[in-house]
Amino acid sequence: MTTRTRVVLAGIAVTLLFGVAALAWAAKDPASAVARLDVHWHASVRGFALRHSAWLSAMEVVTHLGDTIVIAVVDAALVALCLARRRRRLALFVGLVSVVGWAARIGIREWVARPRPTDALWDERTFSFPSGHTANTAIAAALAMIVLSPPLRRLTRVAVITVVVAAALAVGVSRVAGGVHWPSDVVGGLLFAVGVVTLAAAVFPWPATEP
């Protein structure tokens, strides 16, 4: 990875993480435009879910793709695959991003301390911003693309990328559908995930091949 590429990645990461900070600041103010839009969209999506029980049931299944245990298994499998391919530095990258991303997201959540919607359709008890399920799934999806894509043929690579991106987005949608997150929580989770992985790639690049 060239120095120029690393600088570009760092710039993208800073921009995305600045977006997370801006959303966090807005989320702390119930009178902000973001908070008002959240209330509007939450009511609309919640009403749709109540009118379409099959949709809500499907979303409840999808949301479990972002459970901590599921993401931990995926991350561990990616690390194991890297080690099996003798990509030790990439394995370290995957492990560090997974752990640091999880810890940083928890820290932001506790600092923002945003309450969840009071009329959620599922039971969740922690603070709301950013969406943990969304962020964790998006980070795992990004890491999966990094680990799985290079050796694959073009069509297979496109298929893998499509599947993992769709899974991350679907989990985000499910969190709003179940009323356990405001829409901006999900957006914040996605921005956070991409920002963290991009910043890590700029600071801790891995070689294309390893001895």
Q: Where are the domains of the chain?
A: 3-203
d(CA 141, CA 28): 28
pLDDT score of 68: 93
Residue 111 neighbours by CB under 8 Å, 6+ apart: 24
pLDDT score of 207: 62
Name the percent of the chain lying above pLDDT 90: 74
pLDDT score of 211: 53
d(CA 140, CA 206): 17
Mean pLDDT to the nearest integer, 135-161:
88
Tokens matching residue 128: 């709301």
Look at residue 140 and tell me whether its pLDDT is greater than 90. Answer: yes
Q: Residue 33, Cβ neighbours under 10 Å: how many?
A: 9
pLDDT score of 210: 60
125, 166, 137: which is closest to 73 by C-alpha?
137
Look at residue 2 and tell me whether its pLDDT is greater than 80. Answer: no
In angstroms, the Cα distances linking 135 to 50, 125, 208, 209 are: 26, 17, 27, 29
**CATH T-level assignment (fold) for domain 3-203:** Vanadium-containing Chloroperoxidase; domain 1 (1.20.144)
pLDDT digits (tens, 9 = 90+) for 161-207: 899 999 999 999 999 999 999 999 999 999 999 999 999 999 887 66
Cis peptide before 207 (omega within 30 of 0): no
